[in-house]
């Protein structure tokens, strides 16, 4: 199963942005979405921004993710089960 996640753009250098959600930072290509700027929320799938979101929509999506996955290790700071 694939999941695309709303992430906030915190830095852009050329076609690559540094994006963040819940303290997790990643690089994502942003050249497929026109006009992305620092502070925008983008949907990131497989390291590529595929759509820009309004902040309210991003927050609502993230709230729904939290409802579906309330104990996710990324949000709790815990190691995933079975991790050494």
Higher pLDDT, 65 or 84: 65
pLDDT of 11 higher than 90: yes
pLDDT band at 76 (very low <50, low <70, confident <90, very high): low
- Across the chain, mean pLDDT equals 86
pLDDT of 1 higher than 70: no
Give me the domains of the chain, ranges plus CATH numbers.
5-71 (2.30.30.140)
**Among candidates 47, 22, 51, 20, which has minimal Cα distance to 34?**
51
CB-count exposure of residue 45 (10 Å: 0-12, 13-18, 19+): middle
Mean pLDDT for 25-45 is: 96
pLDDT band at 65 (very low <50, low <70, confident <90, very high): confident
């Amino acid at each position: 199963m694939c999941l695309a996640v709303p992430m906030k753009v915190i830095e852009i250098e050329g076609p690559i942005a540094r994006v963040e959600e819940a303290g997790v930072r990643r690089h994502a290509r942003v050249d497929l979405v026109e006009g992305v700027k620092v502070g925008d929320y983008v949907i990131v799938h497989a390291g590529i921004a595929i759509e820009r979101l309004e902040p309210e929509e991003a927050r609502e999506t993230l709230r729904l993710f939290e409802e579906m996955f309330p104990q996710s290790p990324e949000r709790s700071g815990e190691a995933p089960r079975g991790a050494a």
